[in-house]
Structure 1
Amino acid sequence: MVLPFANIGGDPEQEYFADGVTESLTTDLSRISGAFVIARNTAFTFKGKAIDAKKLGRELNVRYVLEGSVQRSGNRLRVNVQLIDAETGNHLWAERFDKPVADLFDMQDEIVSRLANALNAELIAAEARRAELSANPDATDLVFQGWSLINRGISPEYMTRARGFFERALTLAPENIEAMVGLALVDVTEGAAVLTDDPLARFAAAEMISNKALSIAPNHAAARLALGTALMCTKRAAQGIAEFEQALALDRNSAVAHSLIGYAKYLLGRGAETEAHVAEALRLSPRDPHAPRWLVWVGVSKVALNADTEALAWLRRGLEANRNYSTAHFNLGAVLARLGEIDEARAAVKAGLALDPKFTIRRSRAANALSSDPAYLAGRERQLECMRLAGVPEG
């Protein structure tokens, strides 16, 4: 439930802003798959009242309460937000936005977008923790645990465990859309991140299950993203972009869609455009659990442009944000080797092999199925040669 944001500055102009943030956030959070959000008309009956989150949770049968405040000081506006567990009263998460006052509506859109993305990840983590304590988890519990693993990083271990949760969920509920989408995402991730010897089989499976999900729920934004990714990774990047744009039409806050459009353009030989799309994704969701992957995507796009120094900086940023991305270590090792930093390159490869001992040059070359664009293929071939120099096994 989103409680009406408090205007603690007393300025009537900020009152409209606070109400606008509350209404927009209520609408946008209701788009999160599987979420139930109390309607704004009910929420606004609590405006200006002292609220006991635990009592509210019992009365309205809600698990989480989001509350916030708006305060203007000079030419700056501060928005404080916190997420409360309505069962225990504990504070789970808090965020502060402190920005110069310019266009209030633009600021409102940015704040709502960031909050919706951040809360999506926080709610998944909270529900996964709750599910772990359940003696008899249902399909929804299993789905949250699967998504929580995906958010932790891209490694064979996490993907295998996530797959198990989604498959168990589908055994209990064969038409569970969230489980289908999760399973499709595991498939495309294993293929694109070179975690399998047969990426084409993974992409085909992802396309099939995404289409099944969309036959049941054609307006499911995440299913559009999964289908678009399967298309993008099988030499149909332009069709993939069309699916990502449809996802954005369904969910304007989809930072993932922006990042995927950037990656698709890299596959089409338009890597110079990738950074701008990732920048938009980061603007909408700067602390997104998938942001490390987006940073790495800019890095590999720079490789295709022969901008190795820039590529190095982006790859390092991605790994600093989350070191559980095995392929990123190998890409970093290749760039380091090309720049003559052989010892550091081999250390990067060693870290990658610790996460994915089965990674080889042969397996990585199979990932060239993602695109037939000459610029993409030339960049990938340079990467493979330098991976070999950095110590990646031939396979």
Structure 2
Amino acid sequence: MTTFEFSGHRLDLHRGRLQRGGHDVDLRAKSLSLLVYLLENAGRVIGKDELVNAVWPNIAVSDDSLTQCMKDIRKALGAEADGLIRTVLRRGYVIDEERVRRLEDRVATATGEGTADDRPSIAVLPFENLSGDPAQDYFADGMVDEITTALSRMRWLFVIARNSSFAYKGEADGVKRAGAELGVRYVLTGSVRKAGDHIRLTGQLIDSGSGKTIWADRYDGTMADVFDLQDRLAE
């Protein structure tokens, strides 16, 4: 896995944490994904279309979404990062490669000697939106955020950060790749179907080494039950 150091900041992709001086820096998920993509392509001018496709795959968004994320990034990084990200007129954005240090960390795979942590490890992959409405992707992603947070409260469990897990959104081999690349033993997948006020939430817990499903269940309810559904699945 990779850690980036730049302009007094540190971004650990394995844990999905952006820090300055050892303290966490708050940044919305999409804004963090945009920053990661820019860092991974430091030194190259990246067009707006490429950035939109990377951060919002298969979702139609306006240029305003990209502009707002860029504002969020610059605000979060503060004055220390002035000049780190440069706007290239009518072409896109570029990160100053000279100001970025990239560190590669060894993380054992699920089939090796274990993970970087002795606790049981899990990654919650993006849930499939079965509503037939692309606009409901945001709702499905929000459900995954809440479930990830609920699992993170279990101190005996090592939970991969949301931003690392969402890198596998829409990928057919996401379970296998997540297990190997994130070094987790378990992967949680699922789906969300929302029709009016009714919700159906499913989950499957998979052993990433063998590919075997070791638990699966389904929960039905209404929007009034949404938090209860999330907590029940996490439990």
Instruction: Indicate the structure (1 or 2) with the bigger Cα radius of gyration.
Output: 1
TM-score normalised to structure 2 length: 0.44
The structure where helix makes up a greater share of residues is 1
Greater RCO, 1 or 2 (C-alpha within 8 Å, sep 6+): 2
The structure where strand makes up a greater share of residues is 2
TM-score normalised to structure 1 length: 0.27
